[in-house]
Amino acid sequence: MIKTLSITLIAAVALAACSSTPIDTKAPVASASSAPPATPPAASSAQSSVATVTLDPLDDPKSQLAARSVYFAYDDFMVDPKYQPLVQAHGQFLQTHAAVQIRVEGNADERGSREYNLALGDKRAQIVAKQLELMGAKPAQIEAVSYGEERPKAEGHDDAAWAENRRADIRYVKR
């Protein structure tokens, strides 16, 4: 029994010595007399002490600017009316933030030749860029490019994947 206990104790010490958690020897040790006593906030002041955090509208997932893709019907480059609020929100944002630059990336699904899909992606990027200008963006803020079928959002060879890939993406450029 003592031999088993000794082996268990030695194994425990060996495992503890092999631990990968480093010991921080530089951390200050707080003494009870050096720290002022913490007082819990009163219930009424807890609500007033909450800081209001204002997110950049481009980073806020609840913002209208969070959506950045305009989807298109098969073999089409006309913007569906349901995407007009999205285009309008981005156009107005660009109007009030003249230093901000974007790239509108036109995409197509895999059907059609490479050349045809590049041309269709370009038409999609150009139409979204033009509508952004009509909503207040300056032409100098917008670059329109086409990736054709080269950058699919969804991998697959069915209607659902193709629908995801027929789009124009609005990308904010860090300069």
Domain ranges of the chain: 67-173
DSSP 116: H
CATH superfamily, domain 67-173, is OmpA-like domain (3.30.1330.60)
42, 98, 148, 149, 161 from 158: Cα distances, Å: 59, 41, 17, 14, 6
Report how far residue 166's alpha carbon sits from residue 108's, in angstroms, rounded to the nearest whole number: 5
Instruction: Estimate to the nearest angstrom the gap between the alpha carbon of 69 and the chain centroid.
Output: 12
Q: Residue 110: which of 165, 72, 58, 71 has the closest Cα?
A: 165
Q: With H, G, I as helix, E, B as strand and everything else as coil, classify residue 118.
A: helix
Query: pLDDT (tens digit, 9 = 90+) per residue, 54-100?
Result: 567 787 788 889 999 999 999 999 999 999 999 999 999 999 999 99
Q: Under DSSP, is residue 172 helix (H, G, I), strand (E, B) or coil?
A: strand
Q: How confident is the model at residue 106 (pLDDT cuts 50, 70, 90)?
A: very high
Among residues 67, 68, 71, 66, the alpha carbon closest in space to that of 165 is found at 71
Q: In what order do the strands lie in the sheet with 167-173?
A: 69-71, 167-173, 101-107, 142-148
- Residue 146 is given by DSSP the state E
By residue count, the chain amounts to 175
pLDDT band at 23 (very low <50, low <70, confident <90, very high): very low
Structure-token pair, residue 106: 């036109």
pLDDT in tens, 24-40: 445 444 444 444 445 54
**CA 32 – CA 47 distance, rounded (Å):** 29
0.75 surpassed by pTM: no
Higher pLDDT, 28 or 163: 163
pLDDT one-digit tens code per residue, 133-149? 999 999 999 999 999 99
For residues 66 and 60, the answer to whether their CB atoms sit within 8 Å is: yes
